[in-house]
Amino acid sequence: MSIKTPDPLVITIDGPAGAGKSTVARMVAETIGLPYLDTGAIYRAIAWWLNGMGIDPSDENGIRKALPCFSVSLCGSGISVAGKDVSKEIRGTEIDKIVSLYAAHKAIRESLLDLQRKQAADGLVADGRDMGTVVFPDAGLKIFLTASAEERAMRRYKERVSRGEKVNYEEILKQVKERDLYDINREEAPLRPASGCIILDSTSMTIKEVVDVIVSLAGEFGANDRN
């Protein structure tokens, strides 16, 4: 599909856990022909790395000392830390439980700013929690994608079941709600709709419907002209 968009166009997709951001962002990027940046994967990778070294989320000093040695590389949909492909490991329930605790650290967030911004040289579609508020505040199109907690937990549940995991819906719902509270109430880059963003509630929309809305908005909106 050929869509006329300003060049380079940055599209940000923020929202709570399980809103479908990654799937939607990946499909939008593919449709428009832009690179895709999954910033949740970067936070997951840093949590995996720090946790693996035994550095607790409460150990502010240990985290600050370790950060300069964090070496991550993004390759298509894969992610490596110090040369090791961790794409699978970072999706486990262990990382789900701890990643928000690490992501709340100012030092961690600041250390990732440059890395994220550098990816946007040729435009991109980036999903996360603070893409439109902090990392790319001048993005041409900012989306806040949400859905009810129950629907988001059900999506996660089905995703895990399809991977053959034994999971409990109520436990996932509890985790989704806890993560929302944590991400919304943290001091650093709290989860909230960015100024000038478009809020999309996907509770009763299919992924294709959400993608179509964003792709058509991308064709409509020029870069930097919504704020």
Enumerate binding residues for ligand DC (CB under 6 A).
17, 39-40, 43-44, 99-100, 103, 128-130, 179, 183
Nearer to ligand DC, 34 or 156 (CB): 156
Tokens of 49: 């790395």
Helix ranges (DSSP H) in the chain: 21-32, 39-52, 60-66, 93-103, 106-118, 149-162, 169-185, 207-220
Nearer to ligand DC, 192 or 219 (CB): 192
Quote the least distance from Cβ 84 to ligand DC, whole Å: 19
Nearer to ligand DC, 6 or 23 (CB): 23
Nearer to ligand DC, 156 or 218 (CB): 156
Please name which of 210, 226, 213 lies closest in space to residue 141, comparing C-alpha atoms: 226
**What is the distance of C-alpha 63 from the center of its chain?**
21
Return d(Cα 210, Cα 194) in angstroms, integer. Answer: 19
Return d(Cα 180, Cα 91) in angstroms, integer. Answer: 18
* Residue in the block written with tokens 């989320």: 57
Quote the least distance from Cβ 186 to ligand DC, whole Å: 8
Quote the least distance from Cβ 218 to ligand DC, whole Å: 20
Quote the least distance from Cβ 110 to ligand DC, whole Å: 12
Quote the least distance from Cβ 75 to ligand DC, whole Å: 17
Nearer to ligand DC, 103 or 147 (CB): 103
Q: Which residues of 1-31 are buried (b: 16+ CB within 10 A; e: fewer)?
A: eeeebeeebbbbbbbbbbbbbbebbbbbbeb
Nearer to ligand DC, 6 or 98 (CB): 98
The count of C-alpha atoms lying within 13 angstroms of the C-alpha of 203, restricted to the half-sphere facing its C-beta, is 7
Length of the chain, in residues: 227
Quote the least distance from Cβ 134 to ligand DC, whole Å: 8
